[in-house]
Amino acid sequence: MLGRRIIRQIGAGGRRGPAMWLVGLAIAALFQYWTVPSARAAEGGISYYLPGLYGDIAAGLAPEPGHYWFTTNTYYTATPTDPILPGQIDGEIDGALYLNLIRGFWVTDKKILGARYAASVRIPLLKVSVDADVQTPLGPASLAFDDFGLGDIGIIPVSLYWQLGRLNLNLYQTVTAPTGDYDVANLATVSRNQWSFDTVLAATWLDLDAGIEVTVIPGILVNTQNPTTNYRSGTEFHMDVMVNRIFSPKFAMGLHGSFYRQITGDSGTGAVLGSFKGRASSIGPALIYRPKVAGRQGYLSLKWLHEFDVENRFEGNLFTLTAGIKF
């Protein structure tokens, strides 16, 4: 883990005492902003949920039996929607996330309750950075934090697919474990240091005659308490929506979006500022291409989502590039 922390103080009239006080105040304010997370809803103003990562096309449709591997490269740039300490410290905070998410799927021909059974694992590799330029009555200060490493691994032990004519359903449970290296003093740590349980239902309406596919993917994400900060993020509702025009068996394009609401407040002794709830939405275009690679079915998708209607969370733009292949 890099866990790098850089602190630079500019100005302050050349007086060492006020200068050191300024840096200390800036650090304390930013540390409070992240480690007292009720100021932003969901610890750190972030979540295991990221829009656009729950599928690109026909997510409710059962794949053919076999083994599938996907790698999704995501770049997310954002700023928080709330000031650091209103009336005391003003400034700008910029966050950036690079995520390489490796996903393995095992799809069987076995049936459970009339549904095809599958299982999956998700392994994230992250590079996170946070930069802040803080303005106080004594002058400006700049701080930077970053981290790189293995994040928190997710496992889907049960994934069930049903086909009901043109309606296709996929019900699954994701369990995310705190496997990443957590550093409470690093504002850009790659781990959330908590368990989470995400119950998801993907529903796809597929009309190949008309070349139209519509998918809605709602989910409920329940978080446990972070034992280091004694902070428990509230329960989160999220929904991804995608409408795709299928031009051929190889190519499709569409309009995708997401809807996020934190439906219960944050809790625990670490939530000293009270219970706050976050919200966000996003929308953007997507391209999907399914070529043959060495005789195997390949997969490529490109997506851009712009966030809006954001409260108590980071707000920005998310770009994803996914490649996959069936074995």
Domains and CATH numbers, the chain: 4-326 (2.40.160.40)
Those residues of the chain that have pLDDT short of 50 are 1-40, 84-89
Distance CA 262, CA 271 (A): 15
**Which pLDDT score, from 0 to 100, does residue 144 have?**
84
**Which pLDDT score, from 0 to 100, does residue 81 have?**
65
pTM: 0.84
**Which pLDDT score, from 0 to 100, does residue 315 have?**
87
Taking the CA atoms of residue 54, residue 57, residue 58 and residue 63 in that order, the dihedral angle to the nearest 10 degrees is -80
Q: At 323, list the tokens.
A: 């490649």
Q: What is the per-residue pLDDT across 241-252, written as a single tens digit (0 to 9) for each?
A: 999 999 999 999
Tell me the pLDDT of the chain averaged across its residues.
Answer: 83
**Which pLDDT score, from 0 to 100, does residue 85 have?**
46
**Which pLDDT score, from 0 to 100, does residue 218 have?**
98
Q: Report CA 116 to chain centroid distance, whole Å.
A: 28
**Which pLDDT score, from 0 to 100, does residue 252 have?**
98
Distance CA 11, CA 16 (A): 10
**Which pLDDT score, from 0 to 100, does residue 115 have?**
97
